Amino acid sequence: MKPLRLLAAFLAAALLSLAAYAADISGHWTWPMQGRNGNVTEVQATLQFKDGVLTGTVSGRMGDAPIGDASFQDGKIAFTVTREVDGQKIVIKYAGKLEGDTITGKIERPAANEYDAPFIFDWKGTRVP
pLDDT in tens, 32-65: 987 767 788 899 999 999 999 999 999 988 889 9
Whether residue 105 is contained in a domain is answered as: yes
Whether residue 15 is contained in a domain is answered as: no
Domain count, the chain: 1
Query: Which CATH number belongs to the domain containing residue 92 in this structure?
Result: 2.40.128.120
Whether residue 106 is contained in a domain is answered as: yes
User: Hey, how many other C-beta atoms are within 10 angstroms of the C-beta on 8?
Assistant: 10
Spatial CB neighbours of 24, under 8 Å, sequence gap ≥ 6: 49
Whether residue 32 is contained in a domain is answered as: yes
Could you tell me the residue range of the domain that residue 119 belongs to? 24-128
Q: What is the pLDDT along the chain (129 residues), one digit of tens a residue?
A: 565 555 445 444 444 433 444 479 999 999 998 776 778 889 999 999 999 999 999 998 888 999 999 999 999 999 999 999 888 899 999 999 999 999 999 999 998 888 889 989 999 999 998
Whether residue 16 is contained in a domain is answered as: no
